[in-house]
Each structure stands twice: as structure tokens, then as C-alpha cells.
Chain A
Amino acid sequence: MPDHGTEVELIRVEGLNRVYAQGPIRVAALRDVSFSVPRRAFVAICGPSGSGKSTLLNILGCLDRPTGGRYLLEDVDVGAMNDDALASLRNIRIGFVFQSFHLLPRLTAQRNVEMPMIYCGLSRAERARRAAGALGAVGLLHRAAHRPSELSGGEQQRVAIARALVNDPALLLADEPTGNLDTRAGEEVMDLFAELNGRGVTVSVVTHNPRVAARARRILALEDGRLVADGPAA
């Protein structure tokens, strides 16, 4: 494991296992994965499909619990938390960006960005103020009143990034964020991640696209559920 010296640790994963039981068949999606990620890092998680990277992302994003090993987010053992505590953690500590954006089509960009704040009880005025700030940060304030269908793919993904950022998370998790975008829009999204990382946001991107992975400062490579490489991007 690379030495991160005195950097403050955000994520610590120790001997992580995730086994899916489908009737009598048991599929190990993650086998004994261990690593740690300091704050302000920009990590790419790479690997072919079926390598377990989505499973790892779900666990890091507190959507799923490991069946073995430990996952500590900001020194707290996530595996011991109940569903509501995990939901709160996702709400205020984690921002998700998905391949297919996952915006609600009937809501405007502004209202989509406001959505996470509904679940932490912020007032209407505060939600509107923060959503406008987040949309400004991704350069889309002028599109606030548009619905997703009126936005380009790149714009939709930037709205989704604004939604992920709006509760000021410790960790931004992206799952193939450029997978549904053309090259230029993809580059713009990655530029945005780099910029956010430069401003101090910890970013973790799951991808099988080497060009995307190359934008990260560190690459974790998975194969058959095992961590097979961990090093700085080429």
C-alpha cells in the first residue's frame, strides 16, 4: 500500500468481502479488499465489468453493507449502522453521480438539486439559496428553471453533480459519469471533477474507461473482486 504520510484519512477499508447468495449459489463480488483514501484525494476505481467495482461503490456509498471486513468513513464503522443512519449518512456526507444522471423528469433543475435537502429538514428559503449556489458552481444557474428533458446530456450530468454537492459532502462518488455523454461533454464533466477536487472535494470515480481513469491522481484496479493494483495514474 502506498504511504500517505500524515494526510487525514477519509476512507479505510479492511478485508472487505461481499458475498451474494442466490439460492444455493454463493457469488463473491468482493474478496478481501483493503485500502484507504485520504481527504482531498481523486481516486479512480477501474476494472472490467463483473470485477466488483459497482459493488465496492455501493458499499462506499453506504447503499450496501459488506458481508465481511470493515468500512470506516471518517473513522466511523458503517457496517454497524442501521438503515436510517445510513440514509442520513448518504444525505449529508456522500454525493452520488450516476451514469444515467438519475434526475426526476417532472422537476426543474432547481428542484432536482433541492431534493437531498428535503430530507435534512432545511427550510424552503435555505434550500432555494443553496441550490442556486450549487447550480452556480457547475455553471448552470441560467438553466435552473428547465426540466431535464430541456437540457443536454452534459448539462443534465452537471445538474446531477450540483445535486450531489448541495449538502457539502465529504465524498463525491461517481459511477461511470461520462458513460452516457459524448467525448466533449465527458471531458467537461471530468474537468468539473478536477476543479471540485482542486477546491478540496474528495472524488471517487468508478469507470472502465482508461481516459477517465487517467484524470484521477490514483487508480485502484479490481479484477474478480480482488484489488490487483493500487498506484498513481499514468
Chain B
Amino acid sequence: MAPLLQVEASSKRFGGLLANRDVSLAIEPGEIVGLIGPNGAGKTTLFNCITGYMHPDEGRIVFDAGDITHTRPERICRLGVARTWQVVRAFGRMTALENVVCGALQRTNRIAEARARARELLDFTDLRGRDDAPAATLTLADKKRLEIARALATQPKLLLLDEAMSGLTPMETAAAVQLVRRIHAELNVTICVVEHVMEVVMPLSHRVIVLDYGVKIADGTPEAIVRDEQVIRAYLGERRAAR
């Protein structure tokens, strides 16, 4: 089976900083892939390149057998990639329902149909009862759920979650992990999660990819990753690795 997403030797440079260097990876349909790495490892840059907010200086990105290396974000969304943001970007002055309606309008022009779909997704993401609340008034955890609902409304094949769990309480984090599992199981969406909290990614992911200083240093099952010398060095430093 051809991979759903293929990144081929992608490099992205900001002035003198090489944020991504020769990053290659593939995501198969039906996977949950964790993308981890210390702060500044280039995870969000890679996300931005995949979703069209930036374009790699070198390399190629292929989604669903089509080249999207230089495609604009709105076009990539229509092809079936949706994302959430590290710093939440809800439509603050619109209600929670209207936020999700905007996403649903990607697949229908009828407002009534978009509303019905949006209601279902607010139920699915446990935001029931918050329909008419202005998005700016929601808690951080609810805003993150709202972003997920809005992204799901565009009916993606691949969902990219950029630190959907950071800044949450342990209970909220557990609920978010549960939500990701349900999206994968019930909506048949392939998922890639960026996190720097290992405890979240390891039990959730089928496969984990590790970035460090813009370079992919490991790619394998969670069990293999936690024992990987290079990964331990990247996260914990030389002394721990030597032990």
C-alpha cells in the first residue's frame, strides 16, 4: 500500500538556521504516528511545510499520490489534511458552533447541513452545551477540543495535531488522549501528533519519529524508541546515555 503522506529529504532554512535537514518520513493510512523532539527540534516547521504554510527549500512532499510541495494551505486542506495549532487559533468572536460550521462548509454549501454536522462534532468532542459560547470565552482545554472539532469538520484523511495536549491538566490530558483514540477508531482518520511530552506519545502512538536539531534521529515502535541511544542522549544528555 502506498503511504498516505511521504516527506522526501525535506530541508527548510531560516537565514543561518537549518530548521529541517533532509527529513524523510512516511505515514501509512490508519496509523497514529508520534512526532517528538526537544524544543526547537523543527517539529512545527515540518508541520508547516506539510500543511503549506511554508514550503521546503529542498525536497518533496507527497500526499495521497499528489505532489503538495508548493501547494497553498487551503488547497491542501481540501485534499484532506487538517491541522490544529500549538498556540490555539479559534475564531474568537464566533461561537463554538460557528467555528465548526466554518470547517463543515468545506464539504457542503448548505448552512443547515453544516450546522447539523457541526453539532455532531461538538457532541463527539464533548463540547455539548457550549454551542453558543463565544470561542474566546472557552477554557484552553475546550479551545483545543474546538480546534479538533473544526479540523474534523473538513473531513480530513490525515489529522495533524500540534501539541494538542500541552498546557493541560493531567485529567484533561487523559481526556484528550481518549479523544485522539476515538477519532482514530470511529472516524477512520490517520493521525500524526506532535508532542514533547514522552508520557503522552508513547502509549498513544503506533510508531514514533524523533527529530533533534532539525534532523530525524529515530523512527520506530515506542518500545524501540525509549531504548534508542541517540534519543536518550537528545532528551537527557550525554551522562545518562553513557550509563
A and B interact? no
Chain A residues at the B interface, C-beta cutoff of 8 Å: none
